Amino acid sequence: MKDSQPNRYRDSISRVEDQVFIALQHLPSLYTAARGTLWREQIENLAGSPFRYKPDFEVTDQRGRKLFIEVKSERAMTLPNMIHFSAINDMFRHRPDTRFMVLVWGNILTTSKFSSFPEFQNLYIEHAENDYEARGCVLRVFESAFDR
Protein backbone atom coordinates (compact mmCIF):
# COMPACT_ATOMS: atom_id res chain seq x y z
CA MET A 1 0.00 0.00 0.00
CA LYS A 2 1.29 3.44 -0.94
CA ASP A 3 1.91 6.07 1.70
CA SER A 4 -0.49 8.92 0.99
CA GLN A 5 1.27 11.57 3.08
CA PRO A 6 3.68 13.93 1.31
CA ASN A 7 7.41 13.59 1.97
CA ARG A 8 7.52 16.76 4.05
CA TYR A 9 5.67 14.91 6.80
CA ARG A 10 7.89 11.85 6.76
CA ASP A 11 11.20 13.67 7.17
CA SER A 12 10.11 16.45 9.45
CA ILE A 13 11.27 16.74 13.00
CA SER A 14 8.20 18.35 14.54
CA ARG A 15 4.62 19.31 13.83
CA VAL A 16 5.56 22.98 14.23
CA GLU A 17 8.30 22.68 11.59
CA ASP A 18 5.75 21.08 9.26
CA GLN A 19 3.43 24.03 9.76
CA VAL A 20 6.23 26.51 9.13
CA PHE A 21 7.36 24.60 6.04
CA ILE A 22 3.83 24.76 4.62
CA ALA A 23 3.69 28.49 5.41
CA LEU A 24 7.01 29.10 3.66
CA GLN A 25 5.75 27.37 0.53
CA HIS A 26 3.23 30.22 0.22
CA LEU A 27 5.73 33.08 0.30
CA PRO A 28 5.62 35.45 -2.70
CA SER A 29 7.27 34.07 -5.84
CA LEU A 30 10.41 36.21 -5.32
CA TYR A 31 11.40 33.81 -2.55
CA THR A 32 12.20 30.12 -2.46
CA ALA A 33 12.16 28.08 0.73
CA ALA A 34 13.89 24.81 1.45
CA ARG A 35 14.82 22.63 4.37
CA GLY A 36 18.17 23.67 5.80
CA THR A 37 21.41 21.91 4.99
CA LEU A 38 24.39 21.39 7.25
CA TRP A 39 26.52 24.53 7.37
CA ARG A 40 30.03 23.60 6.28
CA GLU A 41 31.93 25.76 8.73
CA GLN A 42 32.28 25.06 12.40
CA ILE A 43 31.00 27.74 14.74
CA GLU A 44 32.58 28.42 18.09
CA ASN A 45 30.31 28.93 21.06
CA LEU A 46 31.12 31.30 23.93
CA ALA A 47 33.00 28.54 25.77
CA GLY A 48 35.24 28.09 22.73
CA SER A 49 33.81 24.71 21.79
CA PRO A 50 33.22 24.22 18.05
CA PHE A 51 29.90 22.95 16.75
CA ARG A 52 28.23 22.43 13.38
CA TYR A 53 24.89 23.99 12.52
CA LYS A 54 21.99 22.90 10.36
CA PRO A 55 19.17 25.47 10.13
CA ASP A 56 15.60 24.27 9.94
CA PHE A 57 14.95 26.33 6.79
CA GLU A 58 16.64 28.55 4.22
CA VAL A 59 14.72 31.26 2.39
CA THR A 60 16.44 32.75 -0.66
CA ASP A 61 15.39 35.77 -2.66
CA GLN A 62 15.97 36.40 -6.38
CA ARG A 63 19.22 38.24 -5.61
CA GLY A 64 20.64 35.17 -3.86
CA ARG A 65 20.37 36.52 -0.32
CA LYS A 66 19.59 33.86 2.27
CA LEU A 67 17.72 33.98 5.55
CA PHE A 68 18.44 30.96 7.74
CA ILE A 69 15.56 30.12 10.06
CA GLU A 70 15.59 28.21 13.32
CA VAL A 71 12.13 27.19 14.55
CA LYS A 72 11.65 26.73 18.28
CA SER A 73 8.77 26.34 20.67
CA GLU A 74 8.46 28.91 23.43
CA ARG A 75 9.55 26.21 25.89
CA ALA A 76 12.85 25.75 24.01
CA MET A 77 13.88 29.41 24.36
CA THR A 78 16.31 28.78 27.19
CA LEU A 79 19.38 30.80 28.06
CA PRO A 80 21.76 28.10 26.70
CA ASN A 81 19.84 28.11 23.39
CA MET A 82 19.95 31.90 23.25
CA ILE A 83 23.73 31.78 23.69
CA HIS A 84 23.92 29.17 20.92
CA PHE A 85 21.76 31.33 18.62
CA SER A 86 23.95 34.34 19.33
CA ALA A 87 27.05 32.46 18.15
CA ILE A 88 25.24 31.37 14.97
CA ASN A 89 23.99 34.89 14.36
CA ASP A 90 27.51 36.33 14.76
CA MET A 91 28.80 34.02 12.04
CA PHE A 92 26.01 34.90 9.59
CA ARG A 93 26.22 38.66 10.25
CA HIS A 94 29.78 38.71 8.88
CA ARG A 95 28.49 37.62 5.48
CA PRO A 96 26.80 40.29 3.37
CA ASP A 97 24.16 38.01 1.86
CA THR A 98 23.14 35.85 4.83
CA ARG A 99 21.10 36.48 7.94
CA PHE A 100 19.70 34.35 10.74
CA MET A 101 16.41 34.44 12.60
CA VAL A 102 14.67 32.46 15.31
CA LEU A 103 10.97 31.87 14.73
CA VAL A 104 9.29 31.09 18.04
CA TRP A 105 6.03 29.23 17.83
CA GLY A 106 4.04 30.58 20.75
CA ASN A 107 3.77 33.68 22.88
CA ILE A 108 6.50 36.09 23.97
CA LEU A 109 6.58 35.55 27.73
CA THR A 110 9.87 33.67 28.15
CA THR A 111 11.74 34.98 25.15
CA SER A 112 11.24 38.62 26.02
CA LYS A 113 13.08 38.04 29.29
CA PHE A 114 16.24 36.95 27.44
CA SER A 115 15.97 39.05 24.31
CA SER A 116 16.33 42.19 26.39
CA PHE A 117 19.88 41.17 27.36
CA PRO A 118 22.48 43.28 25.50
CA GLU A 119 24.18 40.10 24.23
CA PHE A 120 21.04 39.18 22.30
CA GLN A 121 20.03 42.56 20.88
CA ASN A 122 21.27 41.66 17.38
CA LEU A 123 19.17 38.52 17.13
CA TYR A 124 16.09 38.53 14.93
CA ILE A 125 13.51 36.82 17.11
CA GLU A 126 9.93 36.67 15.86
CA HIS A 127 6.83 34.99 17.27
CA ALA A 128 4.07 33.25 15.36
CA GLU A 129 1.08 31.17 16.33
CA ASN A 130 -0.11 30.25 12.83
CA ASP A 131 1.12 29.96 9.25
CA TYR A 132 -0.07 33.44 8.29
CA GLU A 133 1.94 35.03 11.13
CA ALA A 134 4.97 32.85 10.28
CA ARG A 135 5.00 34.13 6.68
CA GLY A 136 4.67 37.71 7.88
CA CYS A 137 7.57 37.28 10.31
CA VAL A 138 9.85 35.89 7.62
CA LEU A 139 8.99 38.67 5.17
CA ARG A 140 9.44 41.35 7.85
CA VAL A 141 12.87 40.05 8.84
CA PHE A 142 13.92 39.61 5.22
CA GLU A 143 12.99 43.22 4.48
CA SER A 144 14.77 44.66 7.53
CA ALA A 145 17.81 42.37 7.71
CA PHE A 146 19.48 43.29 4.44
CA ASP A 147 20.71 46.72 3.45
CA ARG A 148 18.64 47.80 0.48
pTM (predicted TM-score):
0.81
What are the tens digits of pLDDT across the range 30-57?
A: 999 999 877 666 566 555 666 677 889 9
CATH number at residue 34: 3.40.1350.10
The answer to whether residue 11 is domain-embedded is: no
The answer to whether residue 25 is domain-embedded is: yes
Contacts of 118 (CB under 8 A, 6+ apart): none
- Where are the alpha helices (H) located in 27-77, listed in sequence order? none
Q: Please give the residue range of the domain that contains residue 102.
A: 17-145
Residues of the chain with pLDDT under 70: 1-13, 39-51, 107-112, 147-148
pLDDT at 40: 60
pLDDT at 109: 59
The answer to whether residue 135 is domain-embedded is: yes
The answer to whether residue 10 is domain-embedded is: no
